[in-house]
């Protein structure tokens, strides 16, 4: 499989999983957290699909396309290993949807990073809330959900807080 194929699979899966999660959390209330702004493509998709919801973006350095840059008051600047615990104090367990796309090209590093941030993300979700990730996460109490048929296995993961 070429790198182009891998990239396309990731994008198709990301959109399918986000669309599923947006629909499944409709009407829940509570903030949405976008972890990793990057170019701002997924942020732009989220805000276009759910303009009525509050989307906070976590990023260590904003370098997004100007057309998809969040307002300053909705941007939580810094390393997520520090800003997630701060956000938990601020928001409590209220997030309806958390999307994380923080990984880079080094798969081993991505796994280690996912292990580090999983316990920081887990307590932020409200009951019924969903977490969508490009990397497999390591949660104790969130339940992995089936991904939509149009997503490619292993390219996107969905987890739910049931209790």
Ligand X SMILES: C[S@@+](CC[C@H](N)C(=O)[O-])C[C@H]1O[C@@H](n2cnc3c(N)ncnc32)[C@H](O)[C@@H]1O
Sites of contact with ligand X (CB under 6 A): 36-42, 58-61, 79-81, 101-102
Least gap, CB of 162 to ligand X (angstroms):
26
Least gap, CB of 112 to ligand X (angstroms):
12
Rounded Cα gap, residues 40 and 108, in angstroms: 25
Rounded Cα gap, residues 94 and 128, in angstroms: 10
Rounded Cα gap, residues 155 and 163, in angstroms: 26
Nearest residue by C-beta to ligand X? 38
Residues 6+ apart with CB under 8 A from 108: none
Least gap, CB of 163 to ligand X (angstroms):
29
Residue 24's Cβ-count burial label (10 Å; 0-12, 13-18, 19+) is: middle
By beta-carbon proximity to ligand X, the closer residue of 40 and 129 is 40
By beta-carbon proximity to ligand X, the closer residue of 25 and 133 is 133
By beta-carbon proximity to ligand X, the closer residue of 36 and 85 is 36
Least gap, CB of 132 to ligand X (angstroms):
11
By beta-carbon proximity to ligand X, the closer residue of 27 and 89 is 89
Least gap, CB of 80 to ligand X (angstroms):
4
Chain centre to alpha carbon of residue 67:
20
Of the candidates 99, 75, 101, 102, the residue with the CA atom closest to the CA atom of residue 87: 75
By beta-carbon proximity to ligand X, the closer residue of 20 and 58 is 58
């Amino acid at each position: 499989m070429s790198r182009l194929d891998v990239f396309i699979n990731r994008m198709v899966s990301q959109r399918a999983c986000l669309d599923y999660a947006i629909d499944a959390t409709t009407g829940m209330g509570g903030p949405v957290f976008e972890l990793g702004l990057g170019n701002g493509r997924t942020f732009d998709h989220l805000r276009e699909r759910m303009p009525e919801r509050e989307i906070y973006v976590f990023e260590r350095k904003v370098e997004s396309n100007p057309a998809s840059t969040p307002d300053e008051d909705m941007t939580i600047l810094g390393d997520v290993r520090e800003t997630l615990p701060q956000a938990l104090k601020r928001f409590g367990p209220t997030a309806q949807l958390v999307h994380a796309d923080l990984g880079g090209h080094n798969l081993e590093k991505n796994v280690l990073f996912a292990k580090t941030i999983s316990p920081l993300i887990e307590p932020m979700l409200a009951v019924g809330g969903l977490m969508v990730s490009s990397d497999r996460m390591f949660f104790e109490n969130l339940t992995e959900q089936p991904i939509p048929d149009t997503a490619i296995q292993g390219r996107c993961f969905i987890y739910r807080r049931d209790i």
